[in-house]
Amino acid sequence: MTVPDAPPPHVMVRADQVHKYFGRLEVLRGIDLTVNAGQVCVLLGPSGSGKSTFLRCINHLEKVTSGRIWVAGDLMGYRQRGDKLYELRDKQIAAQRRDIGMVFQRFNLFPHLTALQNVMEAPLRVKSEPREQVREQAKALLDRVGLADKAASYPAQLSGGQQQRVAIARALAMRPKLMLFDEPTSALDPELVGEVLDVMQGLARDGMTMIVVTHEIGFAREVGHQVVFMDAGVVVESGSPREVIDNPREERTRAFLAKVL
């Protein structure tokens, strides 16, 4: 068996034949994916197609059953010596995750901390940066997502859209190289979706590498550099938004798009 090499530096994420089982259920069936630095990759597909699971494999929240994932040149969760793999310790995996921001469908803000404290928590505890510097950075990030005036609010005092924007600021506070978005607007009232997508679009414009699981086809078409359509644990087709959304080759993709458009 040949051992795949680490990808070249301009590749932010490479997944190589990723399989994932939950018990005997095969959720991912050999996913290959390459996302270049500065690109936005949108994962589309029906629920249960494995998009979210794949996203969670990228930052090792889920362990892959087989296959490999590299992020910014690091093999996630393992160290390779020769053709032998060694599992990384909890501490080392945590260090790998620092470069990867994640935004969740249900925000998962820390409810016992204010918006500002939510954004400050990780740089303070994980990177042990000086408090004043962290506070200034957190204020700037809240300002960037349009919530400078909500710094002292607790999550329960914010609307869903505001909470999700705080969550994005919280992830950015670690100055990640890659941002993962797991259906960031699916839990929002329709009128609040726009404000979150605007923030994400701004991030993309600033050159952030992003992988976005979403059902927002408009966002995929406008912001995505690469669109990947997944179904039943495999990549059905991928390419530019023009190719996948406007001229899908596969019948399965066409059927899905017909339902969501």
Partner 1 sequence: MTGQPEPLKAVPVRHPGRWVAVAVIVVLAAMFAHLLLTNDAFHWSFMFRNMFTPAVLRGVQGTLLMTVLAMFFGIALGIGVAIARLSPNPVLRGVAWVYTWVFRAVPRLVLLALLGNLNILWPQISFGVPFDTYIGKIFGITDLHLRVFEGQTRNLLTGFVAGLIGLALSEAAYMAEIVRAGMQSIDPGQEEAATALGMRRSQTLRRIVLPQAMRVIIPPTGNETIAMLKDTSLLIYVPVTAELFFQLSAVGSRTFLPFPMYVAASLWYLAMVSVLLVGQHFLERYFARGHRTEQARIRLAGIAGEQGGTL
Using CB under 8 A, which of 44, 72, 100, 200 touches partner 1? Answer: 100
Interacting residues of 199 by C-beta distance below 8 A, sequence separation 6+: 144, 145, 146, 165, 168
The yes or no reply on residue 156 touching partner 1 (CB under 8 A) is yes
What is the contact mask toward partner 1 in residues 58 to 77, using x (rule: CB under 8 A)?
A: -x-x----------------
Site for partner 1 in 40-59 (CB under 8 A): 59
For residue 146, with 0-12 CB atoms within 10 Å meaning exposed, 13-18 middle and 19 or more buried, which class applies? middle
C-alpha 161/C-alpha 114 separation (Å) is 16
The yes or no reply on residue 219 touching partner 1 (CB under 8 A) is no
Site for partner 1 in 109-138 (CB under 8 A): 109-113, 121-122, 125-126
Using CB under 8 A, which of 14, 150, 165, 170 touches partner 1? Answer: 170
Toward partner 1, which CB reaches closer, 180 or 235?
180
The interface region with partner 1, picked from 44-52, 79-87, 105-113, 133-141 by CB under 8 A, is: 105-113
> 17: phi > 0 → left, psi -120 to 50 → alpha, else beta; which?
left
The yes or no reply on residue 232 touching partner 1 (CB under 8 A) is no
Using CB under 8 A, which of 45, 50, 77, 101 touches partner 1? Answer: 101
Pull the structure tokens for residue 71.
Answer: 């992020």
For partner 1 (CB under 8 A), the number of binding residues is: 31
The interface region with partner 1, picked from 69-77, 104-112, 131-139, 140-148 by CB under 8 A, is: 104-112
The yes or no reply on residue 87 touching partner 1 (CB under 8 A) is no
The yes or no reply on residue 20 touching partner 1 (CB under 8 A) is no
Q: 3-class secondary structure for 130-168?
A: CHHHHHHHHHHHHHHCCCHHHCCCCHHHCCHHHHHHHHH
Using CB under 8 A, which of 108, 159, 186, 240 touches partner 1? Answer: 108
Main-chain dihedrals φ then ψ at residue 254, nearest 5 degrees: -60, -40
> In 165-200, which positions are buried (b, 16+ CB within 10 angstroms) versus exposed (e)?
bbbbbbbbbbebbbbbbbbbbeebeeebbebbbebb
C-alpha 104/C-alpha 59 separation (Å) is 13
The contact set with partner 1 (CB under 8 A) reads: 59, 61, 90-91, 94-95, 97-98, 100-102, 104, 106, 108-113, 121-122, 125-126, 154-157, 167, 170-171, 174
